[in-house]
């Protein structure tokens, strides 16, 4: 969420954020993950995507404007903010030993669905059944803004631009700086001294360096960005698009 660590005393749940440099699978939380990957395996990614897709039926029933899914070692947590409400409803399920978070989230969704259908079968209207479940899980102490996703802009580079960046020995954070033009030129000058043919360098590498320099200076004239709305430490759901987004 917004804070680095959130104490949820009323439920005995403590949610900690993941350190930026510590890679963990977005689906199961394991740190046994390859560099540059967001999931430990294709199966793990497919499982969480399937369960989150399953949750959409429940969220539409609740007329959710926003929702957030997160997990700790002991619990899975689903926060829901309906369109008509200013209060978050928090659904919590204890983790089962040996289960992945996706399996426990599925159990949480099915349990909530069973409660809803039981009320409807007892001649309760669908809207009242939804209202009753949401009110039963109201958590007025949680700020509703916590599950409204932030807009995050990221650099959008072509394959050629990515290769040029690598040739200049720069990375994306250098392009995010206000002095990105200065950094590109400085890197070019530094590497030109190494690869210039008159200095004993390789002619082909020097040619590639010149092309990379020109390519990235062109990019600075019209930088491209891609943006998405997401939460820092939780999966986030947007009721308008009916889509889940992974954590930032």
Provide the terminal-to-terminal Cα distance of the chain, rounded to the nearest Å. Answer: 10
Distances (CA, A) of 79 to 61, 115, 122, 126, 227: 14, 17, 26, 20, 24
Residue 114 structure tokens: 């069973």
What pLDDT does 15 receive? 44
**219 band by pLDDT with thresholds 50, 70 and 90:** confident
> What's the rounded Cα separation, in Å, for the pair 46 and 40?
11
pLDDT digits 0-9 by tens, 2-23? 333 343 444 444 443 434 447 8
What pLDDT does 152 receive? 65
Identify the DSSP state of 125. -
Residue 25 structure tokens: 């699978």
> What's the rounded Cα separation, in Å, for the pair 21 and 189?
31
> What's the rounded Cα separation, in Å, for the pair 151 and 228?
6
pLDDT digits 0-9 by tens, 135-169? 999 999 999 988 988 766 667 788 899 999 999 99
Q: Which domains does the chain have, with CATH numbers?
A: 5-148+228-245 (no CATH), 157-223 (1.10.287)
Taking 90 as the threshold, does the pLDDT of residue 180 lie above it? no
pLDDT digits 0-9 by tens, 55-92? 999 999 999 999 999 999 999 999 999 999 999 999 99
Reduced to 3 states (helix: H, G, I; strand: E, B; else coil), residue 73 is coil
> What's the rounded Cα separation, in Å, for the pair 140 and 144?
9
Counts of helices then strands in the chain (DSSP H, E) = 7, 9
Whether pTM > 0.75 for this model: the answer is: no
The answer for 203, left when phi > 0, alpha when psi is -120 to 50, beta otherwise, is alpha
Q: Torsions phi, psi of 9, nearest 5?
A: -65, -30
The neighbour count for residue 14, using CB atoms within 10 Å, is: 14
């Amino acid at each position: 969420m917004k804070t680095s660590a959130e104490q949820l005393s009323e439920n005995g749940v403590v949610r900690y954020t993941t350190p930026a440099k510590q890679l963990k699978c977005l689906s199961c939380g394991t740190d046994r993950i390859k560099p540059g990957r967001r999931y430990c395996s294709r199966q793990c990614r497919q499982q969480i995507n399937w369960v989150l897709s399953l949750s959409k039926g429940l969220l539409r029933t609740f007329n959710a404007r926003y929702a957030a899914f997160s997990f700790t070692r002991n619990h899975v947590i689903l926060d829901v903010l309906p369109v008509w409400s200013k209060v978050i409803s928090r659904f919590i399920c204890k983790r089962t030993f040996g289960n992945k978070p996706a399996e426990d989230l599925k159990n949480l969704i099915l349990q909530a669905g069973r409660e809803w259908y039981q009320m409807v079968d007892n001649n309760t209207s669908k809207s009242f059944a939804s209202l009753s479940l949401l009110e039963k899980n109201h958590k007025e102490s949680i700020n509703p803004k916590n599950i409204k996703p932030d807009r995050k802009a990221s650099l959008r580079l072509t394959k050629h631009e990515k290769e040029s960046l690598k040739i200049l020995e720069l990375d994306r954070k250098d392009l995010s700086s206000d002095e990105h033009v200065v950094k590109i030129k400085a890197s070019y000058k530094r590497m030109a001294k190494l690869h210039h043919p008159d200095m004993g360098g390789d002619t082909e590498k020097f040619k590639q360096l010149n092309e990379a320099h020109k390519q990235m200076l062109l990019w600075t004239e019209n930088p491209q960005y891609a943006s998405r709305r997401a939460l820092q430490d939780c999966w986030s759901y947007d009721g308008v698009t009916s889509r889940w987004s992974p954590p930032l």
